């Protein structure tokens, strides 16, 4: 194979990987999702997906200042592009408009392209997200 073709294939593969977050299939029993967060790293999101009524709903969890926060992988401004967010150089970054947020500022909702909060609660080492909370953000996917 010619070196230029190998380079082109590698470039396409690397670019494709950079634009998509790696989603873990979150456990979901139809009523709630219980996610073990014992291995969640500080300020670094973990991306998850749940199939809800035939539609895939993406979200992420992150540990900030010792607590767990959850957000839909969408914002009210850019959700129509279906690109979501990524973790880039310590920031949560919109893949559509490239706006960056420090993880500890997400709850403040700075700017119009901020991840939409997803309601959840801790129980032991598990983060619980109800079906009702997921339904609230289903329209963004």
**pLDDT tens, 36-81?**
999 899 899 999 999 999 999 999 999 999 999 999 999 999 999 9
> Which residues on adjacent β-strands are paired with residue 69?
62
Q: Cβ(106)–Cβ(92) under 8 Å?
A: yes
pLDDT at 18 over 90: no
Question: What pLDDT sits at residue 107?
Answer: 80
Q: Which two tokens stand for residue 103?
A: 């993880």
107-135 confidence digits (pLDDT tens):
876 677 899 999 999 999 899 999 999 99
CATH number for the domain including 49?
2.102.10
How many domains are contained in the chain?
1
Burial of 36 (0-12, 13-18, 19+ CB in 10 A): exposed
**Residue 41 within a domain:** yes
Interatomic CA distance for residues 130 and 39, integer angstroms: 21
**Host H or E run for residue 101:** strand 100-101
Residue 57 located in a structural domain = yes
* Domain with 65 in it: 21-140
């Amino acid at each position: 194979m010619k070196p230029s073709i190998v380079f082109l294939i590698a470039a396409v593969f690397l670019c494709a990987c950079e634009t998509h977050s790696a989603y873990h299939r979150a456990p979901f029993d139809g009523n709630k999702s219980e996610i073990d967060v014992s291995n969640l790293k500080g300020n670094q999101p973990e991306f998850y997906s749940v199939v809800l009524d035939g539609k895939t709903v993406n979200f992420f969890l992150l540990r900030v200042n010792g607590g767990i926060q959850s957000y839909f992988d969408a914002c009210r401004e850019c959700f129509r592009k279906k690109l979501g967010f990524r973790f880039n150089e310590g920031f949560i970054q919109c893949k559509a408009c490239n706006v960056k947020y420090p993880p500890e500022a997400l709850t403040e909702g700075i700017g119009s392209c901020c991840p939409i909060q997803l309601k959840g609660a801790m129980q032991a080492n598990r983060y619980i997200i109800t079906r009702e909370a997921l339904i609230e953000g289903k329209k963004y996917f």
